[in-house]
Structure 1
Amino acid sequence: MRHAHAAGGLELGNLILDNLAGNITVRFGVRVDQLEELEQVLAEGSTVGLVCEGGVSRRKSMWPDKTLAEEEWVSTLRRDVLAQDYVLDLPGAEKALRSKDLAALLKDGWGRLSMVIGPWAALSPGGEYSLDLSITLTRRDVPVWLRYVVFFKSWDVYQPVSYQLDFRY
């Protein structure tokens, strides 16, 4: 597995690529270090999103790799000022997770994630493939027009991280 950027606050743990019910499924956990920056952003009233983008490509030697499947997974986190706690929304969950302890909430919510990338049938036996996974923790409530006007500013809370896992099926 190749790690493309320094962690700087976000770190991938326990990456597993699996065939689950006929789907290419990636299971992993995300750890967040240096919570002071995140707590400050949430205290300012911002909503942040953990954005996980995954894709599987068939590796080719003389031509560009061919993307077979891609998926994006987004979980949002905010501070509820009235209740004095943190609220974490997970895709597919019926209700949000809540806690006054941010570290414990992130461990419970983002410690074990599962993301379906695409159908396993897209892979051919004997082929060489690459799983690319990028993780970003960014402000979600910045208006689109402001992102274009202030294009030189990063809205990420931490430095994005990217991982690549090469495998043969």
Structure 2
Amino acid sequence: MTAKPLHADQQHSYSTPEINIRAVLLCMLCLLSFFAAPADAGTLQLKNMVLDNQAGSIMARFGIFLKNDTLVEDALLNGVRLKLECEAELLKHKSLWPDSQIARKTYSNKLYFDSLSKQFVLEKPGADQIFKNESLTILLREKWRTIVLDLGPWSTLERDERYKLRLKVRLDQTDIPAWLKNTLFFWSWDVIPSVTYQLDFTY
């Protein structure tokens, strides 16, 4: 079974009437950044998606690979804080009705650059879950190599039924002022376009 990407979200901009000069200038800056982005932008790629039974629980295991991490590294060095979020949704396939959700779990961590230690930092939820390295590539390779999500009891799966495991992965900015989000409501804050993968299987 191979998880296939369903789509990668694209950034779009639309021109709207503005009455605030600050908003106009911000829009122009964002548009300039958009058109100046390299053609070979970074992408989030899924590696080794596995669904298995561990001690009676449905465990989703996968890795995340960031291709061409220069864009992310530059953003971190310039003080931007980022958050990786992986949202897994397990669905039971229905032929005539919408698919029914069995479980949904989210994994997340934060990324930033510590200017004092000159190291990149990956912070996971919970105490003592902070990791540092001078190389962003090495840090992400080590900490994104294996991600595990518990999707509930294995007993919820029924024999000969069709299921879908849908995984959405995104890397976006944190700590964006509310007034800026409201002003540029049409702008995507993703540094890397988000992508959705789907694994179809029969139990």
Aligned equivalent of 2:113: 79
Q: Alignment partner for residue 199 of structure 2, among 147, 165, 168?
A: 165
Aligned equivalent of 1:3: 5
Matched to 1:4, the amino acid is L
Q: Say whether 1:55 aligns with 2:89.
A: yes
1:148 shift after superposition: 3.3
Give the secondary structure class of the aligned counterpart of 2:138. helix
Q: Over the residues paired in the alignment, what is the CA RMSD in angstroms? A: 1.7
Aligned equivalent of 1:135: 169
Deviations 1:112-134 (A, max 9, x none): 11111223222222211000001
Q: Which has the higher helix share?
A: 2
1:145 shift after superposition: 4.5
Q: Which has the larger radius of gyration?
A: 2
CA contact (8 A) 1:48 1:76 kept: yes
Query: In 2, distance between residues paired with 1:8 and 1:122?
Result: 38
CA contact (8 A) 1:139 1:156 kept: yes
Query: In 1, distance between residues paired with 2:111 and 2:83?
Result: 6
Q: Say whether 1:98 aligns with 2:132.
A: yes
Shift in alpha-carbon separation, 1:10–1:112, aligned structure 2, 3 A: same
Give the secondary structure class of the aligned counterpart of 2:60. strand
Q: Compute the TM-score of the two structures, normalised by the length of structure 2.
A: 0.78
Matched to 1:41, the amino acid is A
Q: Compute the TM-score of the two structures, normalised by the length of structure 1.
A: 0.92
Aligned equivalent of 1:109: 143
Unaligned runs of 5+ in 1: none
1:2 shift after superposition: 2.4
Work out the number of aligned pairs and report it.
169
